[in-house]
Amino acid sequence: MANTRKIITLSVPLIIFFVVCFFLFKGLYSDPRKLDSALIGKSVPEFTLQDIYNPEKQYDASIFKGQKMLLNVWATWCPTCYAEHKFLNELAGQGIYIIGMNYKDNRPKAIKWLTDLKDPYQISLFDKNGMLGLDLGVYGAPETYLIDSKGIIQYRHVGALNEKNWRNTVLPLFNEME
């Protein structure tokens, strides 16, 4: 009985050590930029948000139906969003339908940003408190979602869109959507 207790006492720390090593080893080979979304394959969550330019105008999830599009989450406090903005204007110039969602930001600063840098968005939502962002699982800006014509989220891109990731990853997925 004493030997069994001794074996158990010595085995428990060893088992814990191996479990911790397993998770650390697994973490070495994971992509920290890949953040899976529980909403892939599901509709954009229901919401009501104001237009960034006109607080009297409100939008709901119906704006995500009828054509495939991008939903770009951005903010003026986000330096990566600034770097991404020029490319979004290029995509809009190519006819890509983009809805922008200004996330946890200051409305006058956001309007100045869009005025100064050109507005690539067909619709600009103002998510002051980040509630739609929370429902989408947004970790931070920028994030871009591919949404099909039925309003179903097909893909989530974390970080700035640029020519390389657009061409290699996002555009092929965008082209496959209805």
Residue 112, SS3 per DSSP: helix
The neighbour count for residue 151, using CB atoms within 10 Å, is: 16
For residue 37, the model assigns a pLDDT of 58
Q: Which fold has domain 48-176?
A: Glutaredoxin (3.40.30)
Helix (H) or strand (E) holding 47: none
- pLDDT number for residue 49: 98
Q: Specify the pTM.
A: 0.80
List Cα–Cα distances, 54 to 49, 58, 107, 130, 138, in angstroms: 11, 8, 10, 18, 24
Q: Give the Cα separation of 177 and 62 in Å (integer).
A: 18
Token representation of residue 103: 């996330």
Tens digits of per-residue pLDDT, 6-43? 666 766 666 666 555 455 555 454 444 444 557 899 99
Query: CA angle 30-32-34, nearest 5°?
Result: 90
Look-up of token digits 């920290």:
32
Residue 3's pLDDT is what?
Answer: 67
Q: In this structure, are residues 38 and 137 in contact, taking their beta carbons and an 8 Å threshold?
A: yes
pLDDT recorded at residue 35: 44
Task: Provide the pLDDT for residue 157.
Answer: 96
- Those residues of the chain that have pLDDT short of 50 are 21, 27, 29-35
Q: Where are the domains of the chain?
A: 1-30, 48-176
The DSSP 8-state label assigned to residue 119 in this structure reads -
